[in-house]
Amino acid sequence: MSPLIGPGVDRVDGPAKVRGAATYPTDVTYPDLAHAALVRSTIASGRLIAIDDADARAASGVLAVITHETAAKVKAAPFGLLGPAPPPPLQDDRIHHHGQYVAVVVAETPHEASMAAGLVKVEYERGDPPLLDFDDPRSELEPTPWDTATRRGDVDAGLAEAAVVHEATYTTADNTNNPLGLFATVAAWEGDTLTVHDATQWPAYAQATIAEVLGIAPTAVRVRAPYVGGAFGAGLFVWQHVILAVFASRAVGRPVKLVLSRPQMFTGVGHRPSSVQTIRMGVRRDGELVAIEHVSTNSAALDHASIEPISGATARSYSCANVATSDRQRRLNIAFPGSMRGPGHAQGNFALESAIDELAYELGFDPLEMRLRNFAEVHPQSGLPWSSNALRECYAVGADRFGWSNRNPEVGSMRDGHWKIGYGLAAVSWSWWQVRCQARATITRDGHAEVRSAASDPGTGTRTVMRQLAAERLGLPLDHVRFELGDSDMPWSPASGGSSLTASLGNAVHAACNALLQQLLDLAGDDDRSPLRGYALHDVVATSGRIQLRTDPRCGEHYTDILACHQLNELTAEAEATPPSEEDAELARSGPFAAKFVEVRVDEDLGLIHAARVTTVVDAGRILNEKTARSQILGGTIGGIGQALLEETVTDAGTGRIVNATLGDYLIPVNADTPDNDVVFVGEPDPLTPLGAKGLGEIGLVGIAAAIANGVHHATGRRIRSIPITLDKLL
């Protein structure tokens, strides 16, 4: 194995970030930059009667005020990979949620824009009381935009033959992404071409969406996002403030910057929707699952049908002959939901793994044994062998490192002073997801290489890992390779999301480097004096800045000599990697797997809950950089603790206003909430891709909530089926 791949290297962008040299969207500036501020609705349902912007227009430094009466009428955003994008802003007088944008003010400075926005007077006609409650009879159940249901066997027949049937309802709260960096957009028109600097996780999609909305060619739009200050899924859509910045820039004929405030982040860039899930599960006395039915309902915006596949993972998680899953939604007067780390699975896994645990206790089984007895030896839906699945090893290694054998099976029996101790467990799987991706590789006459792709790196380490891969394939020192990303003018890349980018982009980087080596060989083949003449790519290796024969290291040429011989300053190759076809597949595409073990401590007097220890064992195929991979799992674990114990976006039942839309009121884990984290990687490279890598961004979070809830039950005997688990539920 190459020393560059595996244990890993430090983040190559770390020095720039700590020096403040990394340019985030909030840092972008132009000599004549203007600034925008938003005016938001103070009702959740109704219509705009009048907007009085006279005082705002007369205020110091104000350049323009744009409302639905003056905004350009544009096309609806296209239906993309993640479903329908949010509708364009300021297109009519209807109000669908509290905090909806009703105007944008443009001024010389941020302070002047904000002050003027406060001077805009809005008159409303209130409509019916807003739809804010799952139980409101006015909100009808409807299917999600895509049919995500799965079915095999006969669930009713399976339940009829079961010795024990478990049925329960599980609920999860709204969560808000809250990345550290506030989302910002800078839009700059130059004639008929537009440059947008944005906190996006998908520059290529942002380019296509903006162009579609405006009705212009994609080539007239350039989206740049070299650095993103975190996102957790919030950067996967083109949100309404992006379009407003574009409107504002065109209106004033200058570049315009629009930075969301923290409260605006709560309504402007998506959130994890709440869910209500019902699970019916039947087992034989020996613990064999015979039927699972998982029905989920999530909240959706009144004017935007989001996709949240909550129940889908249940169908592939365990061996069971009879399974049915389905997802529905209720439209409410809320801001647009969107992807948040582990979308759908984070909610669905909580219900599934809680239910499995409940059955284990009812049957008198060790929760680990219950899962092992129902391990899926093959893909449950297709019946095909897994391309790779080390979940059994995850269980074994995790149980050993965590000390699961020290668990006293009696509920409430383990104590440390006034702390009740519980051990909880959850299994995790994530879907296989890879898509086509392009990359471009260049070698220069000084022996340095540069690789480019229009991907994004919202802190996951993509820059670092791709630089490692390119250096390994080209046989160059790491400091001789640069990897550039975050620009839609670069070769097409999918989103940094869905635990798919490392494999998809890595395959493209590998292909581009191969194409570059082939071009170098082609040049050598045109040279009668070259020792590489007549040899193919499979005959050679790249090492120490040169191409040499596998069988004779003495026979080779340096890149610099090949370029100099042909009087070239550089050589460039571009390639596209595509995932393997599902047609005639002999193996089931396998995403990552993991097992989570958690020690929970509950104060018997106060009901305080502390996740003291977490052991996470992950099968993610070939680990390309263990440092950045471990960081992903650690961050996801902390996010999972937030979902389990702290995070809940609270909406006022009367007005639809989010009442805790600040980091002072919306609770997230801090250092004192962070447990002793043990992360281990197991498994082998997955054979379906050249790199053998599988994604792992999501599975760090998924499963933590269920493991904590299961640990709380073991410690206290209380089965909590609603998260977050707050102390009032235990007192």
Cβ atoms 336, 270 nearer than 8 A: yes
d(CA 664, CA 660): 8
Helix residue ranges, H only, 530-586: 559-565
Of the candidates 5, 46, 3, 4, the residue with the CA atom closest to the CA atom of residue 685: 5
Cβ atoms 137, 83 nearer than 8 A: no
Measure CA of the first residue to CA of the last residue in the chain; give whole Å. Answer: 54
d(CA 506, CA 500): 10
Helix residue ranges, H only, 305-411: 314-317, 345-363, 367-373, 391-402
Cβ atoms 260, 182 nearer than 8 A: yes
Q: Which long-range contacts (CB under 8 A, 24 or more apart) does 358-367 make?
A: 358/166, 358/168, 358/719, 359/164, 359/166, 359/281, 359/283, 359/287, 360/287, 361/411, 361/713, 362/164, 362/166, 363/164, 363/283, 363/285, 363/287, 365/287, 366/407, 366/409, 367/425, 367/710
d(CA 354, CA 373): 17
d(CA 550, CA 572): 24
> To 5 degrees, how large is the angle CA 623–CA 627–CA 629?
50
What lies within 8 Å, CB to CB, of 138 at 6+ separation is 128, 131
- The torsion angles phi and psi of 501, rounded to 5 degrees, stand at -70, -40
d(CA 656, CA 216): 36
DSSP per position, 441-501 = EEEETTS-EEEE-S---SSSSHHHHHHHHHHHHHT--GGGEEEE--BTTSSP---S-TT-H
CA distances from 422 to 51, 675, 708, 717 (A): 57, 14, 9, 10
Catalytic residue among 212, 293, 557, 698: 698
Q: How many residues does the chain have?
A: 731
Q: What six digits make up the tokens of 417?
A: 């002073």
Is 698 designated active site? Answer: yes
- The torsion angles phi and psi of 147, rounded to 5 degrees, stand at -75, 105
Cβ atoms 201, 231 nearer than 8 A: yes
The helix (run of H) or strand (run of E) holding residue 152 is: strand 150-152
Of the candidates 479, 416, 389, the residue with the CA atom closest to the CA atom of residue 612: 416
What lies within 8 Å, CB to CB, of 693 at 6+ separation is 502, 503, 506, 620, 621, 622, 623, 624, 685, 686
> Edge-to-edge strand order for the sheet containing 121-126?
94-95, 46-52, 121-126
> To 5 degrees, how large is the angle CA 422–CA 598–CA 400?
100
**Is 113 buried (19+), middle (13-18) or exposed (0-12) by CB count in 10 A?**
buried
**Is 583 buried (19+), middle (13-18) or exposed (0-12) by CB count in 10 A?**
exposed
Residue 586's CB is within 10 A of a number of other CB atoms, namely 7
d(CA 539, CA 37): 61
Q: For residue 579, give the amino acid letter.
A: P
**Rounded to an integer, what is the distance from CA 621 to the centroid of its chain?**
19
Cβ atoms 280, 295 nearer than 8 A: no
Q: For residue 158, give the amino acid letter.
A: G
d(CA 388, CA 591): 8
Active-site residue set: 698
